[in-house]
């Protein structure tokens, strides 16, 4: 079980980093330029900014590249849990599609949240926690199908779906405490 959790976090790390990085570094001009949709509600809202998207993507990409670079040194320490062949099986495409997909998933969720009448920052359980997982997987599935299928077994997918909301709530609570998030979700 612990082996699956370690591998799940390792595989998801570039996507996991993207969201809190966007929250820490975001701000400024909103992606929707402040415009409303046909329903007279904001297209995305002030919580989705260009800087957040770019900074979050870059942080995720940097972490993914670091993982690729460090994998050969880290693999021996994790050998008891994860076979080294798995950790060192890298994809330069996934390093890009995991974080970028995560933030696109977050944007798509905000679009639908606004359509449903939820204000920026309003809680939408599960959608708030799994939006970026869905986005990361979708983009990676499309652009590096072979890597996705080789790494995301059904067991890993289930572990990710279970641990992500827990990790997300924990990081958001920290973000709330240090004053980077207005609400703890």
Rounded Cα–Cα distance for residues 21 and 53 (Å) = 9
Which residue lies nearer to ligand CTP by CB, 102 or 159? 102
Please report whether residue 14 would count as binding ligand CTP according to CB under 6 A: no
Specify the 3-state DSSP secondary structure of 110. helix
Which residue lies nearer to ligand CTP by CB, 53 or 147? 53
Please report whether residue 47 would count as binding ligand CTP according to CB under 6 A: yes
Contact at 8 Å (CB) between 80 and 151? Answer: no
- 53, 137, 147, 148: residue in contact with ligand CTP (rule CB under 6 A): 53
Q: Taking contact as CB under 6 A, which single stretch among the options 92-100, 116-124, 149-157, 158-166 is the one that binds ligand CTP?
A: 116-124
Residues in contact with ligand CTP, counted by CB under 6 A, come to a total of 18
Contact at 8 Å (CB) between 4 and 121? Answer: no
Rounded Cα–Cα distance for residues 60 and 19 (Å) = 9
In the complex, the smallest distance separating the C-beta of residue 2 from ligand CTP, rounded to whole angstroms, is 29
Please report whether residue 99 would count as binding ligand CTP according to CB under 6 A: no
Please report whether residue 49 would count as binding ligand CTP according to CB under 6 A: yes
Q: Taking contact as CB under 6 A, which single stretch among the options 79-87, 93-101, 119-127, 144-152 is the one that binds ligand CTP?
A: 119-127
Specify the 3-state DSSP secondary structure of 135. helix
Please report whether residue 26 would count as binding ligand CTP according to CB under 6 A: yes
Rounded Cα–Cα distance for residues 60 and 111 (Å) = 22
For residue 55, what are the contacts with CB-CB under 8 A and spacing of at least 6?
Answer: 21, 22, 25, 26
Please report whether residue 32 would count as binding ligand CTP according to CB under 6 A: no
Rounded Cα–Cα distance for residues 80 and 95 (Å) = 25
Please report whether residue 137 would count as binding ligand CTP according to CB under 6 A: no
Please report whether residue 120 would count as binding ligand CTP according to CB under 6 A: yes
Specify the 3-state DSSP secondary structure of 44. coil
Please report whether residue 45 would count as binding ligand CTP according to CB under 6 A: yes
């Amino acid at each position: 079980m612990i082996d699956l959790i370690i591998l799940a976090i390792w595989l998801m790390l570039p996507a996991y980093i993207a969201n809190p990085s966007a929250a820490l570094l975001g701000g400024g001009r909103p992606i929707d330029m402040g415009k409303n949709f046909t329903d007279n509600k904001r297209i995305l809202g002030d919580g989705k900014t260009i800087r957040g998207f770019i900074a979050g993507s870059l942080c995720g990409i940097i972490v993914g590249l670091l993982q690729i670079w460090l994998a050969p040194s880290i693999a021996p320490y994790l050998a008891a849990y994860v076979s080294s062949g798995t950790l060192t099986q890298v994809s330069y495409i996934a390093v890009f599609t995991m974080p970028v997909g995560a933030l696109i998933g977050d944007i798509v969720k905000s679009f639908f949240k606004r359509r449903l009448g939820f204000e920026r920052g309003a809680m939408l359980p599960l959608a708030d926690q799994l939006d970026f997982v869905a986005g990361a997987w979708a983009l990676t599935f499309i652009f590096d199908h072979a890597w996705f299928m080789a790494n995301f077994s059904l067991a890993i997918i289930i572990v990710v779906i279970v641990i992500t909301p827990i990790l997300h709530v924990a990081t958001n609570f920290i973000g709330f405490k240090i004053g980077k998030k207005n609400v703890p979700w």
